Amino acid sequence: MDTPPTADHRICFFGDSMTQGTADPQCRGWVGRVCEAARVRGIDVTCFNLGVRGDTSRDVRQRWEAECAVRFTVPCATHVLFSFGANDMTLQDGALRVGYDESVANLQAMVVAARQRHAVLVVGPSPVNEPEQDERIVALCRRYEASAQQLQLPYLPIVRTLMSNQRWRGDVAASDGCHPGALGYELMASLVQRWPAWWFADNAA
């Protein structure tokens, strides 16, 4: 969707604890950092961080429309960024909280509905520092990526990049064991900012 001709950019970020910024000593996560960077570049950004700890794709699907609707009530350039999936891959009583097929269907349903009215981006799920779950998250990320390609939707996979990054792993280990601290969230923010599809990318006009 084309961005409306307004300088008033408002973004709803939907996701899980990694979007919320859990365990960040600065309480802002990568979301706060990329929005601050946009403001430093002179862009008028309003950041609604709607990450919720523990949320699966199913949880986000149930709430995103209502939470968007009350935040986008005046004419402005509306943006929605989704980032979830890690909690879908948690085992609960021996089964995935949300299976692969439903997870992909949730992503598709949200994206298709959201981009009728808003600019939409998807950042792939993050690792959780649990080897077997992380492998499932990598597999889900591939499914998300294929789905996004089909929908011609910009998609940023981050799980393998983070898993193989020693600074990331060290920061998670030094934090609560599954979320990073300030350094890890800075790293995530830099991945988003260097992504050409990011609305306010470092290399954008």
Residues contributing to the site for a copy of itself (CB under 8 A): 10, 20, 22, 25-28, 32, 35-36, 39-40, 45-49, 52-55, 59, 62-63, 66-67, 70-71, 73-74
The total number of residues shown for the chain amounts to 205
Measured from the CB of residue 157, what is the shortest distance to a copy of itself in angstroms?
A: 25
Q: Residue 40 corresponds to which amino acid?
A: V
User: Given the complex with a copy of itself, which of 35 and 96 has the nearer CB atom?
Assistant: 35
User: Given the complex with a copy of itself, which of 74 and 152 has the nearer CB atom?
Assistant: 74
Cα separation of 188 and 25, whole Å?
15
Q: What is the DSSP string of 35-103?
A: HHHHHHTT-EEEEEEEE-TT--HHHHHHHHHHHHHTT--SSSEEEEEEE--TGGG-EETTEESS-HHHH
Measured from the CB of residue 51, what is the shortest distance to a copy of itself in angstroms?
A: 9
Give φ, ψ of 192 to 5 degrees.
-65, -45
Measured from the CB of residue 32, what is the shortest distance to a copy of itself in angstroms?
A: 5
User: Given the complex with a copy of itself, which of 76 and 151 has the nearer CB atom?
Assistant: 76
User: Given the complex with a copy of itself, which of 44 and 164 has the nearer CB atom?
Assistant: 44
Give φ, ψ of 12 to 5 degrees.
-100, 120
Measured from the CB of residue 166, what is the shortest distance to a copy of itself in angstroms?
A: 25
Measured from the CB of residue 70, what is the shortest distance to a copy of itself in angstroms?
A: 5
DSSP 25: T
